[in-house]
Structure 1
Amino acid sequence: MGAVDLWTTMVVVLVAAMVQSTTGFGFSLLAVPLISLVLPTESAVVIAATLGTLTSSAQAIGQREHGDRPTILRMLAGAAVGAPFGLILLTVASNRQLKFGLAAVIIAFLVINLRGLTIERGSRGVDVAAGTISGVLNTSLSSNGPPLVMALHARHMSPSAFRATISAVFAGTGVITVGLFLASGRYDSDVRKLLVAAVPAMVMGYAIGARVRPHIDPPRFRQAVMVLLTATAIITLAGALMAS
């Protein structure tokens, strides 16, 4: 690990955290593909998933009284089933295949948002299925938001209940993911050093986002983020095509 790897990771984490703080989404969708420009995709996934667990846990604790507990438990049950399969994918997939997977998730997220695709009716089965897919995506790519967002929107929750519920599911899925990463020896010395450096950058990014959020036009900023995600998907696809 060189200085370029360290500083690139810190800058990417800062920017991704600022975007997440300002818009409510985008941390892993930006962080993983951009960090993977200088690090193996597997390491980028471990770093982003671990940082995401820290932030979602803090949010879940602060909003715990508003969460829909039955929905949370169903989604986490699904995540517990799916997460080991995601770890298998992370283990057996090549760096190139992981990059293609990242690009596919980003493109799916963009299509869902731009076309306004929704699930018309929520159900227990939808909750479990969304949790299972989320578990697979979190341990393999650290990008598990789209299925959870679609499933929770189908339940037509209030904004406070939605935020609290999805934060709790993110946190619980993250704990499962970190546990699997620990058990499988994913935290080598380089990853540990990068995490230590990235945490202050993440905190700074969230603080900057909180400060600038009241002074920006949300629709325009969201559009800018969509453009950034599109560029990220293109860069990731190009990296996958060039990867060995």
Structure 2
Amino acid sequence: MGAVDLWTTMVVVLVAAMVQSTTGFGFSLLAVPLISLVLPTESAVVIAATLGTLTSSAQAIGQREHGDRPTILRMLAGAAVGAPFGLILLTVASNRQLKFGLAAVIIAFLVINLRGLTIERGSRGVDVVAGTISGVLNTSLSSNGPPLVMALHARHMSPSAFRATISAVFAGTGVITVGLFLASGRYDSDVRKLLVAAVPAMVMGYAIGARVRPHIDPPRFRQAVMVLLTATAIITLAGALMAS
């Protein structure tokens, strides 16, 4: 690990945290593909998933009284089933295949948002399936938001209940993911050093986002983030095509 790897990771984490703090989404969708420009995609996934677990846990604790507990438990049950399969994918897939997977998830997220695709009705089955897909995506790519967002929107929750519920599911899925990463020896010395350096950058990014949030035009900033995600998908696809 060199200085370029360290500083690139810190800058990417800062920017991704600022975007997440300002818009409510985008941390892993930005962090994983951009960090993977200088690190193996597997390491980028471990770093982003671990940092995401820290932030989601803090949010979940602060909003715990508003969460829909039965929905949370169903989604986490699904995540517990799906997460080991995601770890298998992370283990057997090549760096190139993981990059293609990242690009596919980003493109799917963009299509869902731009076309306003939704699930008409929520149900217990939808919760479990969304949780299972989320578990697979979190351990393999650290990008598990889209299925959870679609499933929870179908339940027509209040904003406070939605935020609390999805934060709790993110946190619980993250704990499962971190446990699997620990058990499988994913935290090597380089990853540990990068995490230590990235945590202050993440805190700073969230603080900057919180400060600038009241002074920006949300629709325009959201459009800018969509453009940034599109560019990220293109860069990731190009990297996958050039990877061996």
State the alpha-carbon separation in 2 of the partners of residues 151 and 99 from structure 1: 26
In structure 1, C-alpha distance between the alignment counterparts of 2:110 and 2:57, rounded to whole Å: 26
Q: Distance in 2 between matches of 1:157 and 1:209?
A: 25
CA offsets, 1:135-194, max 9 Å, x none? 000000000000000000000000000000000000000000000000000000000000
> What's the offset of the Cα at 1:97?
0.0
Describe the SS at the equivalent of 2:9: helix
Work out the CA distance in 2 between the residues paired with 1:222 and 1:166: 20
User: d(CA) in 1 for partners of 2:77 and 2:176?
Assistant: 11
1:108-144 deviations in Å (ceiling 9; x for gaps)? 0000000000000000000000000000000000000
**What SS is found at the alignment partner of 1:149?**
helix
- Give, in whole Å, the separation in 1 of the partners of 2:114 and 2:8: 30
CA drift of 1:198 comes to 0.0
Give the aligned partner of residue 3 of structure 2: 3
In the alignment, the residues of structure 2 paired with residue 92 and residue 138 of structure 1 have an alpha-carbon distance, to the nearest angstrom, of 16
Distance 1:81 1:99 in 2: 24
Stretches of 4+ aligned residues off by more than 4 angstroms = none
Distance 2:162 2:69 in 1: 11
In structure 1, the partner of 2:34 is 34
Q: Secondary structure at the residue paired with 1:160?
A: helix
Equivalent in the alignment of 1:156: 156
Offset from partner CA, 1:80-130 (integer Å, 9 cap, x none): 000000000000000000000000000000000000000000000000000
Identity of aligned residues (%): 100
The structural deviation recorded for 1:228 is 0.1
Once residues 40 and 112 of structure 1 are traced to their aligned partners in structure 2, the CA distance between those partners, rounded to angstroms, is 28
Query: Counterparts of 1:224 and 1:159 in 2: how far apart (Å)?
Result: 23
Report the count of equivalent residues: 244
Partners of 1:21 and 1:160 in 2: CA distance: 16
Distance in 1 between the 2:72 and 2:89 partners? 25
Distance 1:132 1:70 in 2: 16
1:16 is aligned to 16
Q: Give the aligned partner of residue 166 of structure 2.
A: 166
Alpha-carbon distance in 2 for matches of 1:146, 1:192: 28
Cα offset for 1:208? 0.1
Q: Can you give the 5+ residue segments of structure 1 that lack an aligned partner in the other structure?
A: none
Shift of 1:57: 0.1
Instruction: Give the Cα separation in 1 of the matches to 2:225 and 2:165.
Output: 24
- What is the rounded CA distance, in whole Å, between the counterparts of 1:63 and 1:204 in structure 2? 22
Matched residues in 2 for 1:169 and 1:18: separation?
A: 22
CA drift of 1:55 comes to 0.0
Post-superposition Cα deviations, 1:25-77, rounded to whole Å, max 9, x if no partner, equal 00000000000000000000000000000000000000000000000000000
Aligned to 2:227: 227
Q: Secondary structure at 2:212's aligned position in 1?
A: helix
Q: CA separation in 2, counterparts of 1:91 and 1:234?
A: 24
Give per-residue Cα distances to partners, 1:187-236, cap 9 Å, x unaligned: 00000000000000000000000000000000000000000000000000
SS of alignment partner, residue 185 of structure 1: coil
1:6-29 per-position Cα deviation (integer Å, ceiling 9, x unaligned): 000000000000000000000000
What secondary structure is seen at the aligned counterpart in 2 of 1:150? helix
Q: Does 1:48 align with 2:48?
A: yes
Task: Indicate the SS of the match to 2:53.
Answer: helix
* Structure 2: runs of 5 or more not aligned: none
Distance in 2 between the 1:162 and 1:212 partners? 23
TM-score, L = length of structure 2: 1.00
For 1:31 and 1:101, locate their aligned partners in 2 and report how far apart those are by CA, in whole Å.
14
SS in 1 for 2:180: helix
